[in-house]
Amino acid sequence: MSSTVAAMAFSAFAMGGTPAEASLSPQERSGVVMVYDIPAGSVATALNAFAVKNGLHLLYEAHVTRTLRTSGLSGAFSVREGLDRLLDGTGLSYRFGGPDAKAVSIILAQNDTGVRSDAGGAEALPPIDIGAEKRDEKKAYSADRGAITEGTGTYTTPLVTVAGKVPLPRKEVPQSVSVMTRAQINDMQLTTIQDAMFWIPGVSAIANDVTQGQPGSRGYALDVAYDGVPTYSGFGGYQQLDLAVYDRIEVLKGPAGLLTGSGNPGGIVNIVRKRPQDEFKLRTEFSAGSWDNYRGVIDVTGPINEERTFRYRALVLHQDKHFFFTPSQPENKWLGYGSLEYDITPNTLVNVTYTRQRTSDPDYSGQPVAAISYFGGTSPYFLNVPRSWNPYPDWTQSKWDTEDKNVRLEHRFGDDWVAKVNFNRRDIDNEFYDAYPSSGVSPSDWTARYARRHFLYYYHRTGIDSYLSGTLPFVPIKNTLTIGYNYDRFTYEYKRAPAVNVNNIPVFWPNAIGPNLNPFTVGGQNQTLQHGAYSQLRLTPVDPLTFVFGGRLTNFFAKSRSVLPSVPTDWSYGEKSNHRFSPYLAGIFRLTDEINIYGSYSDIFIPQTDQKADGTTLDPEVGGQFEAGVKGELLNKKLNASVAWFDINDRNRSYADSANPGYYLQAGKAESRGVEVEFSGKPFADIDLPIIQSPLPGLDVIGGYTYLRTNLSVDDSNQGRPISSWYPTHMFKIWGKYEFDGFLQGLTFGAGVVAQSGLSGSVNTLNEARHGPAYAVIDAMASYKINENLTLQANINNITDQKYYTRVGGSNTYNTPGDPRNFMVTLRGEL
């Protein structure tokens, strides 16, 4: 860039003659916060990294910054806050200017007469040079970029999208929220959603098989959304895409009916995809580990045109692995991911993404147990067998083929309003053929009854979420209004061969039984459809107090029919709910600039099909939650912390009508109460102690504790018992990493533990149940940055080789041992 252009740019600044406070960038005017992890060092290097991230024109004379250093920038800040902190103590100042308000001049501090404050005389300001790459003014700005975690290197992010569509600081969300960032996923070498759920505070990862599970929170299952598009019944029981394609995982705990419609009171998981970037990056990852686990990933992104308004991302992945149980089929996974993003105008952005994942896995669902009880009844007990025992024939297999398509269109009206339409389509084919123990094991001859199955499933999900959010100009107080509409249709078809039961199969020689070769003679088709409109209004009548009002109207219905072996039958209609209203109310009080206290009420509903004696259908089951807590953004927003109390009342549950056998009453009730504590970020980054500036400046940590009690307060057969035995009373999770400085620079060490109280199996007629004992699983990692482009990492999981159960099920299946001690070594490259 020539000096003439630089001089013209600086002249524009001089003509404006306004300080930084009066001329703000678009990011500053809209109040958007970005997350940074800029290390201490040269001011010039730090400023250039800051400018590239924000798309700013950075103007300064090279010698002005030549000998200056900065303490860096870590955490979430607006543009002006970030510049203030980077330049603190350097004697430098800045001004915004230029026709697009994205040019920033970095100058030595000066007085009102235009001379340097340190010059001692009238010394002219130096010429200005361009110090950062120019970004084309046609490039659109997307509000969601402030919540992106990729590249930040931290375990916390102050902005989340799961609770209100547009990004919000976590302390402004009046419900409990957890986030797993891209840095934590990489450091822990996590590859599946089930892996991630095991480590997210307050979440129980209940295993189904080797590919998927039924995650839950606060005594209930969790629902799922993809980039904010809610998906009915889309989590438990369905294989998810590999974590390689995702930027972060956000978990909102407690009912989320306002934004999703019907679902479970446990909460919702929002899984957010990676996005194309405007700088070329090539990332590779090759891993090898226990049980012949081999994995490779290539991820490339960058601009297509010179203006960087057209960007791409492409990722390919292959994994081949065996498991700790033997014998079995290996897992074979292929994934391809492609995304294009285009700035149609400076205010309009479109993104198109396509993903295809194909896997083949063994069909393994835990171990059976003994068919008799210690007391001579029928309650089974655990067998004294090794964790590696596989009671399934080695020919059992489950194949998944997932195709995911997403289109997102975003438009910004000025600085205050944004509109977004997000379309998602996911098609899944699943075929499995297996033989599983359908009874407990007879201890006298170690045999069991086996059932042979062969199924084909076809799942089709179509989701649309659209919203408009901004500030009402005619309201005299601070406000934000969000109005939206979403649509979700789920259709699945299946066909199967009749199950074949075979008795007296030796459980240590399951290959004695062969596959089910019968033709498909049974089939069905099911469809659920829900759509609704929602609205949320945030009002701040007086500065420290904010109220949040919201509501949603939802329509829901389900239908099913037989499709095999003859002509499809007529549709049979099941659950139905018209214009169901879900309210939301919350209050937030700002105690200090860093700490908020809050209280909220939210609910969600589940339609029912049971009928009352008068022939009408039961009203929907409703889970309503009261939550109160304290949230803080501490240590210059480098540490997020929260404490929450919650009380979920689950009412209108189906209850058998003793006066009218075969009919039901909506009299059942359940309660779920507890406390959650959570923290994430850099707890020692800004703590100054005598002699030493900071004891652990490179420590990043995330963790939490959950206390949970559930109770069926009114129930026809299980009154007084927990809602489910899957969820522990006490659960503690923590993971941290430390990046060394000085002569150990480049070395990172991390470790963590998941500890929880015991689990129980189903209670039988004798009030007997199996109990999985309490456990603590410890993982660790170490990595070394060989050079600017290569990093070597080693992960060791379950260091103490703790024996535990991830789930306690029935007498035949789902008594699932956790993985024994295992390791993974990874070589990462980046250009």
pLDDT digits (tens, 9 = 90+) for 305-333: 998 999 999 999 999 999 999 888 899 99
Tell me the pLDDT band of 143, cut-offs 50, 70 and 90.
low
According to DSSP, residue 661 is labeled T
pLDDT of residue 723: 87
Lowest mean pLDDT among 66-80, 104-118, 321-335, 338-352: 104-118
Query: Has residue 94 got a pLDDT over 90?
Result: no
Peptide bond into 515 cis (omega under 30): no
For residues 395 and 373, what is the distance between their CA atoms, to the nearest angstrom? Answer: 32
Instruction: Please calculate the CA angle 732-737-740 and round it to the nearest 5 degrees.
Output: 155
Give the count of beta carbons closer than 10 Å to the beta carbon of residue 340.
16
Please state the rounded mean pLDDT for residues 84-96. Answer: 78
* C-alpha neighbours within 13 Å on the C-beta side of residue 426: 25
In this predicted structure, what is the pLDDT of residue 42?
76
CB 331 within 8 A of CB 362: yes
Higher-confidence residue of 125 and 819: namely 819
Query: What is the band of 39 on the pLDDT scale with cuts at 50, 70, 90?
Result: confident
Joined together, the tokens standing for residue 557 give 């219905």
Integer angstrom CA distances of residue 50 from 132, 425, 431: 10, 36, 50
How far is C-alpha 363 from the chain's CA centre? 26
The residues facing 732 across adjacent strands are 705, 755
Q: Are 73 and 82 in contact (CB under 8 A)?
A: yes
pLDDT at position 25 is 43
- Of the listed ranges 103-112, 322-331, 564-573, 750-759, the one predicted with least confidence: 103-112
Taking 60 as the threshold, does the pLDDT of residue 377 lie above it? no
Return the pLDDT at 577: 93
Question: What would the pLDDT profile of 568-589 be if each residue is shown by its tens digit?
Answer: 899 999 999 999 999 999 999 9
Instruction: Report how far residue 181's alpha carbon sits from residue 170's, in angstroms, rounded to the nearest whole number.
Output: 14
**In this predicted structure, what is the pLDDT of residue 53?**
74
> CB neighbours of 460 closer than 8 A, spacing ≥ 6?
425, 426, 427, 428, 490, 491, 492
At 90 the pLDDT is 77
For the four alpha carbons of 589, 592, 594 and 597, in that order, the dihedral sign comes to: negative
Nearest to 77 by CA among 26, 20, 120, 34: 34
Please tell me the distance from the alpha carbon of residue 533 to that of residue 482, in angstroms, as a whole number.
11
* pLDDT at residue 127 tops 80: no
Give how far Cα 423 sits from Cα of 410, 411, 521, 608, Å.
12, 15, 36, 28
In angstroms, the CA 201 to CA 191 distance is 18
- For residues 733-762, give the mean pLDDT: 91
Residues 131, 66: Cα–Cα separation, whole Å: 12
d(CA 390, CA 388): 6
Residues 694-721 have a mean pLDDT of 88
Residue 23, pLDDT > 70, answer: no
In the predicted model, what is the mean pLDDT of residues 292-315?
96
Residue 302 region by backbone torsions, left for phi larger than 0, else alpha for psi between -120 and 50, else beta: left
> Across residues 33-44, what is the average pLDDT?
74
Report the pLDDT averaged over residues 440-451: 91
In one-letter notation, the amino acid at residue 300 is V
φ, ψ (nearest 5 deg) of residue 343? -90, 100
Helix (H, G, I), strand (E, B) or coil at 197: helix
Q: What is the DSSP letter of 14?
A: H
CB burial readout 119-154, b (16+ within 10 A) else e: eeeeeebeebbbbbbbbbeebbbbbbbbbbbbbbbb
pLDDT at residue 704, as a whole number: 97
How far, in Å, CA of 816 to CA of 367, rounded? 6
Distance (Å, whole) CA 255 – CA 582: 10
Instruction: Report the chain's mean pLDDT, rounded to a whole number.
Output: 86
Question: Which band of pLDDT confidence, cut at 50, 70 and 90, is reported for residue 60?
Answer: low
Residue 761 token pair: 């199996």
pLDDT digits (tens, 9 = 90+) for 198-212: 999 999 999 999 888
Average pLDDT score over residue span 792-811? 94
Q: Bigger pLDDT: 727 or 92?
A: 727
Whole-angstrom distance, CA of residue 313 vs CA of residue 334: 17
pLDDT tens for residues 668-700?
Answer: 999 999 999 999 998 887 666 555 556 678 899
Cα→Cα distances 581→173, 262, 555, 577, 616, Å = 21, 10, 9, 10, 20
pLDDT at 137 over 70: no
